[in-house]
Structure 1
Amino acid sequence: MSDWMVTEGSRPRRPRPLSPLREHLRDTFWFAPTAAMAGVFVVWLVAQELDAALVRSLRDQGDYETLSELLRFADDAKSVVSAVGSAMMTFIGVVFSISLVAVQMASGQFTPRVVRLFVRSRITKATFAVFLATFVLTLLVLTSYDSSTDPRVVTSVPLVQSVLTLVMVALSLLLFVMYVNTTLRLMRIGHVIARIAAESFRVAAAMPVPADGEGVPALGPVTAWVAHDGAAGVLRDVHVARLVRAARRHGVVLRLIPRTGDFVVPGTPVLAVHGGQAPPRRALRYALSVGVERTFHQDLGFGLRQLSDIALRALSPAVNDPTTAVQALDRVVQLLAALCRRPLDTVAHRDRRGAVRLVQAVPGWAELVDLGFAEVRGCAAGSPQVSRRMLAGLDDLERLAPPERREPLRRHRELVRQAVERTAPAPADRAFALRPDRQGIG
């Protein structure tokens, strides 16, 4: 709530469009380890040159005693480097095998979309990258050891390389601790739900807030249509600035037909043009980003969708965990409370002169309430803990919402009452299940 209150009084900046390349790299595991291994190879070349320069400097000075000491140090360090190299790959395999099993268990218990948090986790990729980079560095350093023990003919003493290897080992251990902590947090439902709620608040804060008296003007009849000509998939992102520029240059108003998160197929209309001809295809290139799954970037309903999935999974007979459902409902109520006075249904994007150039559809208040409560309500009748928490949340939202937005809340409250009456024939059980309680049963 605090983040929302900070942003409500000001006009937030437009969200930056998603970079398809950046999103692809964030959804893959190969880029960070590959870049780390290439980077550590460059660092090893630099360290090798520093070691060679150190040996040349000592030989030019005739300081063979120091060279002998460095050779003894390198001989001791070689055993450490060899041990690190032989143990690192085994360590990587065991750690990540256990982690993948843990993530699979979390996705089965909560929702499959939890895997997205693991795949896009920066600490996970950094740990994997540093582990592999340390292993590659140990192999490279082992090739730098000179077989000669005579300081007068030795060509290289991998002093800098050995110290660098020890630093990488220390960094690997530090990242391993952070990685374990992150993975354990991912398995705790409270942290997963809080992460989903935080992402949803960022989406709400990035939506433009109309000034007093501003609204979506009458657009007039549709003069042209723009069909989707790319691959089928989920609409993940809308490049607002590009569409506004194209509409301003051609003197038209564009209306986005699908909402962010809708599945679009080739040939279906995606933009309606009002007031003139459609902009050319080159002006609309890369304006819409389509992918295989939804993202939080501009999708206002995605957070509620995930919270509803978690609550439904928790209330299934296989899991039977009403406390998790209550935790999900806590965040559903929090999100709806932040949106209850927010202008919804449509968002108007204006150019620099204040003229509306793009109209974008977003979920309305009734749709958001249904998304947060409808499916959970169907499973809540047999769980007094969930029905009590849901009724308390609906009462709180009814106090916060303006009068014109209270009808969907009252409708869900009545449906909860009817469902409980059908499943609890005893009057005492019905009264207990229909008593609002913010903790469910406590």
Structure 2
Amino acid sequence: MVTHRESRRPRALSPLREHLRDTFWFAPAVGLVGALVLAGAVGELDAWLIGALQDEGDYDSVTSLIKIAEDAKSVVTTVGSAMLTFIGVVFSISLVALQMASSQFSPRVVRLYVRSRITKGTFAVFLATFLFSLAGQSAYDGEKDPKLVTSVPVFTLLTAVLLVLISLGLFVAYVNATIRLMRVSYVIDRITRESFRVLGAYPLRSPEGALPLPAEVSVITHRGRAGVLRDVNIARLSRIARRGGTVLRLVPRIGDFVVPGTPLLTVHGPSEGRLPVRLLRSTVSVGVERTFHQDLGFGLRQLADIGLRALSSAINDPTTAVQCLDRIVQFLAAVADRPLGAVHHTDRSGTVRLVQDLPSWGDLVDLGFTEIRLCATTSPQVTRRLLAGLDDLLLLVPPDRRRPLERHRALVEQAVERTVPEAADREFALLADHQGIG
């Protein structure tokens, strides 16, 4: 059991920020709005400059700016058309990268590209530059008389050139980031870092005076579409429970598939008022796929998928499976001596208001090792690394957590004994090695 105070990490477990990161439209939309605002501000600055020169009677300078404006319009027009072509190139690169990642690694790693800040930032700046150029062209004043002209796009030209330079820099960074995301080692590292970020959002520690739940008085069922439970608004659920003077328990775990009519929340202890059932249901986010946000086991799921695909006959890449095992062992070592199971979310006064189930130690061990173990018997590199990882974890975990690891170690030995006919090959495959075959 774990205690987690509601006010300690309000942003880490806030769904809105994570939901926006999982979308691709938000950053480009902000870029487009920003381009319109910037175009309006720069246009006003151009009008102010011409107005100031006219008020001073400096018509020679106005005439010089009008001559420059013709070239400026050509430059801005060229920038607009070039950026549209650039956007097409970036979009094509993204599609190729997504297709390769999905086919070679796992369909679940595609979300790494969707969440990539450099990818969304590049698209946002490219679209903003294109829209700014269009707005600059539409605001161009073709008047030749220095006394009648109202605006000359001087600052518009400078801003367009600056946006182009930023776009070129972002394009180089985007290509570099995309190439890195097409390398399996970097993808595995990104998944691991995301997993540790989720682990950091749950400050796992021993409970301090966590009491058993009061008697269950009612059940709130799921309404709406069926799907995967992605996350819950923990802060809002805790506030509702505090106002009602009761305790809530989330029945499904994050990552479970829920269908309408199944239990979603149970209410424990008499409430001081009627609970807002519709508001409680709105705190739960259901989608078509799992996300990292509050899912402690999703990183292991992805690592196991990549390792499993690497061991398939179509790819036959045991080295990648070994890299996945490296990170699986790293994550399990980080939680080896930390409390798992039910997490108790408390309000500011320290009263438990929400109970949420997390995967147990056995669940995480099985998730990380089972499928790779079943496919690893024909690859001594993988069996040797698997045994070395299990031995390391056996040294780190407390005695009550040794059993799942010992079971997997025994199963590896039994599988190798059954499938490898030569005694020398069996002995080699069962020799623990941190590099597989170093």
Q: Note the 1:236-275 alignment, pairs <5 A.
A: 236-275=230-269
Q: What's the CA shift for 1:19?
A: 5.8
What is the aligned counterpart of 1:138 among 133, 136, 158? 133
Contact 1:17-1:237 within 8 A present in 2 as well: no
Larger mean Cα displacement after TM superposition, 22-31 or 160-169: 22-31
TM-score (structure 2 length as normaliser): 0.91
CA RMSD of aligned residues (A): 2.5
What is the aligned counterpart of 2:378 among 378, 382, 386? 382
Instruction: Indicate the residue corresponding to 2:221 in structure 1.
Output: 227
Q: Note the 1:25-424 alignment, pairs <5 A.
A: 25-211=20-206, 214=208, 216-219=210-213, 221-276=215-270, 279-281=275-277, 284-424=280-420
Distance 1:115 1:424, change over 3 A: same
Contact 2:122-2:167 within 8 A present in 1 as well: yes
1:432 paired to 2:428: yes
Deviations 1:206-233 (A, max 9, x none): 2244447x46533364332221123222
Q: What's the CA shift for 1:376?
A: 0.4
Distance 1:27 1:64, change over 3 A: same
Q: What's the CA shift for 1:329?
A: 0.6
Q: Which runs of 5+ in 1 are unaligned?
A: 1-7
Distance 1:101 1:288, change over 3 A: same
The residue type paired with residue 273 of structure 1 is V
Deviations 1:375-420 (A, max 9, x none): 0001111111111110000000000011111111111011111111
The residue type paired with residue 194 of structure 2 is E
Q: What's the CA shift for 1:354?
A: 3.6
Instruction: State how far apart, in whole Å, the 1-side matches of 2:242 and 2:367 are.
Output: 35
The residue type paired with residue 138 of structure 2 is T
Contact 2:7-2:348 within 8 A present in 1 as well: no
Contact 1:308-1:373 within 8 A present in 2 as well: yes
The residue type paired with residue 77 of structure 1 is A
Distance 1:137 1:207, change over 3 A: closer
Instruction: Indicate the residue corresponding to 1:4 in structure 2.
Output: none
SS at match of 1:359: strand
Aligned residues: 433
Instruction: State how far apart, in whole Å, the 2-side matches of 1:399 and 1:362 are.
Output: 24
Distance 1:218 1:81, change over 3 A: closer
SS at match of 2:354: strand
SS at match of 1:406: helix
Larger mean Cα displacement after TM superposition, 428-437 or 266-275: 266-275
SS at match of 1:349: strand
Fraction of identical pairs, as percent: 64
SS at match of 1:201: helix
**Greater RCO between the two (CA within 8 Å, min separation 6)?**
2
Instruction: State how far apart, in whole Å, the 1-side matches of 2:32 and 2:340 are.
Output: 48
Contact 2:6-2:347 within 8 A present in 1 as well: no
Instruction: State how far apart, in whole Å, the 1-side matches of 2:96 and 2:224 are.
Output: 36
Larger mean Cα displacement after TM superposition, 98-107 or 278-287: 278-287
Q: What's the CA shift for 1:101?
A: 0.8
Q: What's the CA shift for 1:73?
A: 2.5
TM-score (structure 1 length as normaliser): 0.90
Deviations 1:37-84 (A, max 9, x none): 232222222222222222232233332332232233223333322222
Distance 1:334 1:412, change over 3 A: same
SS at match of 2:136: helix
SS at match of 2:107: coil
Larger mean Cα displacement after TM superposition, 324-333 or 24-33: 24-33
Larger mean Cα displacement after TM superposition, 37-46 or 164-173: 37-46
Instruction: State how far apart, in whole Å, the 2-side matches of 1:11 and 1:436 are.
Output: 44
Q: Which runs of 5+ in 2 are unaligned?
A: none
Q: What's the CA shift for 1:127?
A: 1.0
The residue type paired with residue 370 of structure 1 is D
Contact 1:311-1:324 within 8 A present in 2 as well: yes
Q: What's the CA shift for 1:15?
A: 4.9
Larger mean Cα displacement after TM superposition, 376-385 or 198-207: 198-207
Q: What's the CA shift for 1:330?
A: 0.6
The residue type paired with residue 100 of structure 1 is L
Larger mean Cα displacement after TM superposition, 428-437 or 64-73: 64-73
Instruction: State how far apart, in whole Å, the 2-side matches of 1:143 and 1:246 are.
Output: 52
Distance 1:423 1:248, change over 3 A: same
Instruction: State how far apart, in whole Å, the 2-side matches of 1:64 and 1:231 are.
Output: 68
Larger mean Cα displacement after TM superposition, 140-149 or 43-52: 140-149
Instruction: Indicate the residue corresponding to 1:3 in structure 2.
Output: none
Instruction: State how far apart, in whole Å, the 1-side matches of 2:238 and 2:19 are.
Output: 26
